[in-house]
Amino acid sequence: MSHEILIGLMSGTSLDAIDAVAVDLHNDSVRLIHAIEYKFPEKLRHQLANLITQHEAVNLDHLGAAHRALGLAYADAVKQLLAEAKLQPDDITAIGCHGQTIRHQPDSNPAFSLQIGDAATLATATGITVVNDFRSADVALGGQGAPLVPAFHGHVFTSRKRDRVIVNLGGIANITVLKKDADSTTGFDTGPGNTLLDYWADKNLGKRYDASGSWARNGIIVESLLDDMLADHYFSLKPPKSTGREYFNPAWLSRHVEAAGPEHKAVDVQATLTALTARTVADAIRNVAPDGDVYLCGGGANNTLLTEQITAALKPQTVATTAELGIAPDWVEACAFAWLARARLRHTPGNLPAVTGASRPVILGAITAP
């Protein structure tokens, strides 16, 4: 049996882990062979968090060191993945590595989206060709450089019978709309996914995240705070649009919480933030695909309170996870970057101008040989 195995590496704005997958893309199928979650070494996680949150005071030595250290961490993740899957470097066509976004400014002039994680380090340490820097070409053509997963969602998840919406609940949430009778895939970032939830859980509980939303479940939604946050202009912007922690960050949250007054309990704010993600995702879906079947992916699909609220808000639309469509929710995004790497090797465009706003389709990614 023939195979065409690529590796996808994804580490998103949540800084939770490096997701590493090996996928067989033979004959345009997408078959997940093995997947691991590689926890960031604590020191590297701090280095990256500092670059992201202290961006105005970034020291170039720290930037350079993190760039290399992340390349080595990616290589470690790949080696662990290969060992567990009993694969050799020679079995792998290429690694598609998203890199770590340290700054995403698609609306500044000039616009940019900056990912780090040294490709030469990764390629030489593993002996495998690396494709990375997926966002620059789209940005160079006036696009947001994001989201890039919709083309992959279109490839694997389109149905000719039903409209479908794929919702990626990462640090930032994005949706992809797949109409049954049209080949035009659309999509955009809806706003915060887990990023504010994670920040608030860390600040108040000292935990990375509110597991299953169980803390928020004890809180009461503060309607005035929710309304105030929902009034943010991002939510009413027309697509194409993308966002990041540059905008939906602790300062954004503090402004709203302070405006709501001092009397609110932390747990009630967490409940309100959960409702904010659920409401903005559901509102976006109802606007663009009121009849679509909805499939959730990304780490937020494990937050049962959040998924219950999305389901309730969208009733009678059905809401499930991408596991129903053959790819477990935690691995969809990493699979997308393996697939985008293959598109690069085939000289096929990977962006969707209707999604990113770029002036034309373009081949995405830079190739680094070992």
Ligand X SMILES: Nc1ncnc2c1ncn2[C@@H]1O[C@H](COP(=O)(O)OP(=O)(O)O)[C@@H](O)[C@H]1O
Q: CB within 8 A of 324, min separation 6: which ones?
A: 295
- Interface with ligand X (CB under 6 A), residue from 113, 129, 302, 309: 302
Place of tokens 């994804």: 10
If DSSP codes are grouped into helix, strand and coil, which group holds residue 92?
Answer: strand
Q: Dig out the tokens for 14 from the structure.
A: 């949540």
CB-wise, 49 or 312, nearer to Mg ion?
A: 49
Instruction: Identify residues 332-351 at the interface with ligand X (CB under 6 A).
Output: 333
| Closest to 335 measured CA to CA, from 29, 7, 3, 36 | 7
Q: Dig out the tokens for 37 from the structure.
A: 């979650």
What is the contact mask toward ligand X in residues 151 to 190, using x (rule: CB under 6 A)?
Answer: -------------------xx-------------------
| 242 binding ligand X? (CB under 6 A) | no
| 16 binding ligand X? (CB under 6 A) | yes
Q: Which stretch binds ligand X (CB under 6 A): 41-49, 154-162, 294-302, 313-321?
A: 294-302
Peptide bond into 329 cis (omega under 30): no
| Closest to 357 measured CA to CA, from 111, 138, 108 | 138
Work out how close the CB of 273 gets to ligand X at its nearest, in angstroms, rounded to a whole number: 11
CB-wise, 123 or 275, nearer to ligand X?
A: 275
| 14 binding Mg ion? (CB under 5 A) | yes
- Interface with ligand X (CB under 6 A), residue from 49, 83, 120, 211: 211
Query: Which 8-state DSSP code applies to residue 25?
Result: -
Q: How far apart are CA 174 and CA 148, in angstroms?
A: 10
Q: How many CA atoms lie within 13 A of 112 on its CB side?
A: 7
Work out how close the CB of 19 gets to Mg ion at its nearest, in angstroms, rounded to a whole number: 6
Q: Give residues in contact with Mg ion (CB under 5 A).
A: 12, 14, 16
Q: Give residues in contact with ligand X (CB under 6 A).
A: 12-14, 16, 170-171, 194, 197-198, 209-213, 298-300, 302-303, 333
